[in-house]
Structures are given as structure tokens and as C-alpha cells.
Structure 1
Amino acid sequence: MSEEMEQWVAEMLRINDLDAKMTDKQIKIIKAAVETFSEKGYAASSTSEIAQKAGVAEGTIFRHYKTKKDLLLSIVAPMMTKLIAPFVLKDFNKVLHSAYPKYEDFLRAVIKNRMEFARNNLPIIKIMLHELPFQSELQAQFKEHIAKKVFNRLQEVVEHFQSDGQIIAIPSHVAVRVSVSVLIGFCFARFFLLPELDWDEEQEIEYSIDFIMHGLAPRE
């Protein structure tokens, strides 16, 4: 495993509080699975190959995970939970009202925070993006944890700023879709489509936010 991949997996385990709960063999299995799934995809990966990379017997994998799919879910599911964590905090509304007087401030804080999370978890996010269209269990978790919870929270945010007159009076779900599409599109290009470019992240974030705000600003 490369040093960069090693750092990513260590960060993933730390963020998800897994490093203290797993045996050394489990951590080796997770590291080998992340590397293999990220490089080859889930379908083309075998538990024998993962076991070989981890330096354990293949039977050891099945003592901890009943199937290869269980191993996949054990990697991706905690990441989904941490991905949405800032959006489901009980004091979210308090933070919104006190810290972000403008919608653009809220967008800027969210995109910077989640970009840092993505940067530290790229291999796992890559696995999720690869497997989401093909794994019904991941689709169900994505809809439950991300699509529903995050979307509902963002609708609350939009409606708050609409009531302040900062956002045009269109259906809140449309404003959310516009905002999310632009920001996710930027992140996808930055980390997966064109990572080799010399990105000025700060400027690109401002361009994206300006684009969103020009579209959502109330008409004079």
C-alpha cells in the first residue's frame, strides 16, 4: 500500500472511530480491501487477493465478514454517516442562525468543510461512487442517510434565507438542487475527473458560489 493510501485509510479509521475497536488483523483487512476495491472495483476484486495483501488467511476475512459485500458495506456505510454528520447535528439550526448571516456564507463554510473531508477519504468515496449504481444496499443507505436527511436540512436552510429575502421565491427543493449540483460538480471535477490540473480551490469555490447566488438572487 502506498504511503498516501496508508494515510487515507488511517484517517478513515480514525474519523469513524474504528481504529480502537478493530484487531490488527481487521485493520489490515480493511486497508487491503480499500486499496483493492479502489483500484479494481468491487466486482473484479477477490477475497483471496485481499487476504494476500493483508497477509492473513482468506478464512480470517470470513470470520469477521460473512461475505465480500459485508466487507464493502463495513467500509462505505461509516463513511456515509460521517459525510452527513454536520447536517444532522441537533444544534444545526442554532449554528445556522448565529454563524451564517448570508446564504453564500453558509455555502462557503459547507463546501470547504466537506472538501476537506473528501480529501481525507478519497479512496472510500471513490468506492462509493463506483458501487452505488450496482449495490442495492448502498442505494438504500444513500437514500436514507444522505438523500433524505441532507436534502431536508438544506430545504430548511433555503427556506430560512428565503424568509430573509436573500433567495428568490422558488420551490425550496429547486434551490437546493441548483446549489448541490453546482458544488458537487466542482468537487467531482476537482478530485476525480481532473485532479491533475493546477486548481485554485479558493477561487473556484468563489466562482461556484457566485454562479449559484446570481441564479438565486431576488430580481430587482
Structure 2
Amino acid sequence: MTDHDLEIDELMDGDELTDKQKKIIVSAIESFAEKGFSATSTSEIAKKAGVAEGTIFRHYKTKKDLLLAIVAPVMAKFVAPFIIKDLQKVLHQDYEHFEDFLTAMLLNRRDFLVKNLSTVKILVQEIPFHPELKELFKEHIALKVYAQFIKLVEHYQAKGQIMDIPAYSVFRMTFSTIFGYLIARYMILPEADWDDEAETERTIQFIMHGLAGPNHSKK
């Protein structure tokens, strides 16, 4: 079994895939990530997978169905399980401070991103162009994660660790900052000279304290 097989098995947890399906998915991930969905043909995917083009359509009715089969598990696994699972840790005081929770979340999702970089890249570059992906995003991430995160925010607000602003604002600022860092680090400027430990700490501190310096005053 190859590394790709292991990654696909983990990503498609619960779905029994044939060897041909695995080859098709791996080839599609590589092609979509490299060239984009629109510029990739099913004949290219079939050739790379070493199968007949008709084999793809026996498993996936359209190229869009193949895209959704790849992206849906990423939607489901990228954020939601960690948030939902760790809500219980927060409520049972495993993360006494909001800052500790943020650090754990960032490191956990960074590991997932590195492991599934090509697939997440497809998600990021294709979601603006496919209503189906937007709906999946709302179903798997926006709605599930938002509901759980609101409970986290209220928990830490009650402890006086987060300012009293609407929870949806905390949600937006937190996730846009964390995923903005991860996308810049691994997709936009991976070749830059990153100090990952320092950058992680700066990202968390920015969420917690913003950019204002000690001499900042609003006139």
C-alpha cells in the first residue's frame, strides 16, 4: 500500500473504495491541484490513473461528481471534528484559557493541512466557482462549526477572557486569521523563510490582542 493509499483511506473514512477508485481519486487530486478543475479533462485523469475513461463514469456520473467526492470529506474533516470534539475538552477545563484552545486548534489543523495539501488547495481554489461546494461548506463547516464555536466563545466570555462583542465577530476574526496564515504559509508563499513557531505565536497573539502597541491612543 502506498502513502497515497493511506491518505485516501483516512480521508474517505467509512467509504469502501476499489483500487481503481483510489487511482482515479489520487490522479484527480493531482490534476485538479496542478491545473484546476476546468482545465483538467477526464481523459487526462484516466490516463494518469491507468484506467479507461469509461471507468471514471462508471463510478462518477460527471467530472463535477468526482470533484465533490474529493472535496466533501475534506470539508467534513478539516475543521468540524476538531471543534466539536474539543468543545468537551474546553467545558471540562482541558483548555483553561482561550489562547490555549487557539494554539491547539491551529497546530492540529496545520498538521491536517500539510497531510492533505493538494486536496485543500482544490477546495480553496474551486469553492468560489461551484455553488455545490459553497453548500457543502455551509453544511459541514459554517453551520456545524459555528454552532459549536459560539458555545466556546460564550464560555470564555463568561470567564472574562474574551471581550463582550457578538460571537459571530469572534468567529469571523478567529478563523479568517488562522486560515489566512495557513493558506499563506502552505499555498501562497511556501518558499518563504518561515519561522513556524514564531509565526504561530504571532498569529495567536494577534487574535488575542490585535496590533495596537502600548502607546496607541485614538484621537
Q: TM-score, normalised by structure 2?
A: 0.89
SS of alignment partner, residue 88 of structure 1 = helix
What is the match of residue 17 of structure 2?
22
Q: For 1:99, what is the secondary structure of its paired residue?
A: coil
SS in 1 for 2:128: coil
The partner residue of 1:139 within 129, 134, 139 is: 134
Alpha-carbon distance in structure 1 between the residues aligned to 2:23 and 2:160: 53
Kept after mapping to 2: 8 A contact 1:79/1:124: yes
- Residue 202 of structure 1 is aligned with which of 197, 201, 208? 197
Cα deviation for residue 144 of structure 1 reads 1.2
- Name the SS for the 2:51 alignment partner: coil
Structure-2 residue corresponding to 1:211: 206
Identity %: 50
| Cα offset, 1:170, TM superposition | 1.1
Residue 101 of structure 1: how far off its partner (Å): 0.4
Taking a change above 3 Å as real, the CA distance of residues 165 and 85 of structure 1, as seen in their structure-2 partners, is same
**Residue 148 of structure 1: how far off its partner (Å):** 1.3
Establish whether residue 159 from structure 1 lines up as the match of residue 126 from structure 2.
no
Question: Residue 129 of structure 2: SS of its match in structure 1?
Answer: coil
- Are 2:34 and 1:32 aligned? no
**Structure 2 equivalent of residue 93 of structure 1:** 87
| 1:173, distance to aligned residue in structure 2 (A) | 1.2
C-alpha separation between the residues in 2 aligned to 1:53 and 1:164?
A: 55
Q: Does the 8 Å CA contact 1:87/1:149 hold for their aligned counterparts?
A: no
1:153 is displaced (CA, Å) by: 1.6
Which ranges in structure 1 are unaligned for 5 or more consecutive residues?
Answer: 1-5
Q: Which residue of 2 aligns with 1:115?
A: 110
Task: Give me the CA root mean square deviation.
Answer: 1.8
Judge conservation of contact 1:13–1:19 (CA < 8 Å) in 2.
no
Q: Distance in 1 between matches of 2:99 and 2:161?
A: 10
The CA deviation at 1:20 is: 7.4
1:19 Cα deviation (Å)?
A: 9.2
The 8 Å contact of residues 12 and 73 in structure 2, kept in 1 or not, is answered as: no
Which residue number corresponds to residue 187 of structure 1? 182
The residue that corresponds to 2:216 in the other structure is none
Q: 1:66 to 1:123 in 2, by over 3 A?
A: same
Alpha-carbon spacing, 1:135–1:17, altered in 2? closer, same or farther (3 Å): closer
Q: Pick from 37, 40, 52 the counterpart of residue 42 of structure 1.
A: 37
C-alpha displacement of 1:133: 0.6
Displacement of 1:179 after TM fit?
1.4
Q: Show the counterpart of 2:215.
A: none
Deviations 1:69-108 (A, max 9, x none): 111111110111111211234xx43311221000000000
Q: Which moved more, 1:146-155 or 1:10-19?
A: 10-19
Structure 1 segments, 4+ long, off by >6 Å, are none
Aligned length: 208
Give, in angstroms, the shift of residue 18 of structure 1.
5.0
Q: Does 1:71 align with 2:48?
A: no
